[in-house]
Amino acid sequence: MKIAVLVKQVPETDSLTLDPETGTVVRSEDSSIVNPLDLYALEAALRIKDADPETSILALSMGPPQAETALREALAMGCDEAVLVTGREFGGSDTWATSRALSAALSKLGGFDLILCGEKATDGDTGQVGPEVAAFLDLPVLTYVGSLSLSSSRKEAQAQRIVEDGSQVLRCRLPMVMSFCKAIGEPRLPLLSGKRRAKAAQLRSFGLADLGLTAEETGAKGSPTKVVKVDRPRLSREATFMDARTEEGMDKACDALIALMLEKGLIVPSAAVAGATAARTQP
């Protein structure tokens, strides 16, 4: 079975700290990581390989040459191969243009039974690339997958999908594109042997010409959306502070919260409930 996993390199949000003096965000120097949500897709792929060593996993990324680091991490976790789509022309791609390039790379590589990705990237936060890649490849897509098992024929899978008010159990015909959420389970850490192998591995890279795309179809030029303005919103609110460490303070704080709950219509005085019930039972 052949699996492709889409990975993205993102800035590490954990390394962001607030300068206590100036209140500005400080980002540590070398702070690029594999999108943490992609690790769940990698884990899902690696579990399939654990059960069936015949499985081969290819990690695919688009980004600047430095994104190679993210691909090496995927290799260290246990992926077999890695391909980087890279070139100046791809810069400034929105989700449409990114998906266009990634799907062109997937078509060129060909023959995948499963194409897996994370729910979204922690920087762009759109979650659009998975479904868009599926559409470009004319494949079905299943999003928010929380668990997955394959049939013995490997032509079918059963998946659990996590939605707003519960979960759905679905049977899926492969090939298919799937995006995973955290419920799939903790991603494994790379082993030392994996790290060594990853360090020595040869990565392939694809440029614009390799993918048969034109500069008009990708990058900022090929992107149908454009950022017109960026604002820094007021991050803090006008907080009312209440100290509930004394009995009196506790009393006031509880009253303030109850007043809010009343205002929002969450609760009503018990008497009103009794009144409403009485009113309804009148003929």
Partner 1 sequence: MNEIWILAESKSGHVAPVSLELLAWARSLGKTGSVSVTAILPGPAIDPEELCYFGADSVIHCPSEGLSGFSARPLAACLSALLERRRPSVFLAAATTTGRTVLPYLAACEGLGLTADCTELSLDPETAVLLQTRPAAGGNIMATIRTTRGKPQMATVRPHSRRPLERDPGRTASVEVMDFHEAPGAAPPLGRDGGDSPPFPNGGLLLVEERPFESSRGIADARAVIAGGKGFRKKEGFALLDRLAGLVGAEVGASREAVDRGWADYPRQVGLSGRTISPELYIAVGISGAIQHLAGMQTSKTIVSINSDPEAPIAAMSDLAIRADLYEFIPALMAKLAGYRSADGVEA
Ligand X SMILES: Cc1cc2nc3c(=O)[nH]c(=O)nc-3n(C[C@H](O)[C@H](O)[C@H](O)COP(=O)(O)OP(=O)(O)OC[C@H]3O[C@@H](n4cnc5c(N)ncnc54)[C@H](O)[C@@H]3O)c2cc1C
Contacted by 151, from ligand X, partner 1, none: CB < 5 to 8 Å by type = partner 1
Of 3, 74, 62, 4, the residue nearest 33 (C-alpha): 74
Contacted by 59, from partner 1, ligand X, none: CB < 5 to 8 Å by type = none
Question: Does 207 help bind partner 1 (rule: CB under 8 A)?
Answer: no
Question: Does 52 help bind partner 1 (rule: CB under 8 A)?
Answer: no
Give dist(CA 103, CA 214) in Å, integer.
14
Q: Binding to partner 1 (CB under 8 A): which residues in 132-151?
A: 132-136, 139-144, 146, 149, 151
Question: Does 124 help bind partner 1 (rule: CB under 8 A)?
Answer: yes
Give the alpha-carbon dihedral of 166, 170, 176, 179, to 10 degrees: 20
Give the C-alpha distances (Å, rounded to integers) separating 217 from 89, 101, 104, 109, 206. Answer: 9, 9, 11, 20, 15
Contacting residue, 11, 36, 92, 175, with ligand X by CB under 6 A: 36
Question: Does 2 help bind partner 1 (rule: CB under 8 A)?
Answer: no
Q: What one-character DSSP code corresponds to residue 7?
A: -
Question: Does 122 help bind ligand X (rule: CB under 6 A)?
Answer: yes
Nearer to partner 1, 152 or 281 (CB): 152
H, E, C per residue of 81-96? EEEEECCHHHCCCCHH
Contacting residue, 122, 190, 213, 218, with partner 1 by CB under 8 A: 122
Of 47, 4, 54, the residue nearest 188 (C-alpha): 47
Q: Between 4 and 23, how does the x/- string for binding to ligand X read (CB under 6 A)?
A: ---------xx---------
Contacted by 208, from ligand X, partner 1, none: CB < 5 to 8 Å by type = none
Question: Does 96 help bind partner 1 (rule: CB under 8 A)?
Answer: yes
Q: What one-character DSSP code corresponds to residue 218?
A: S
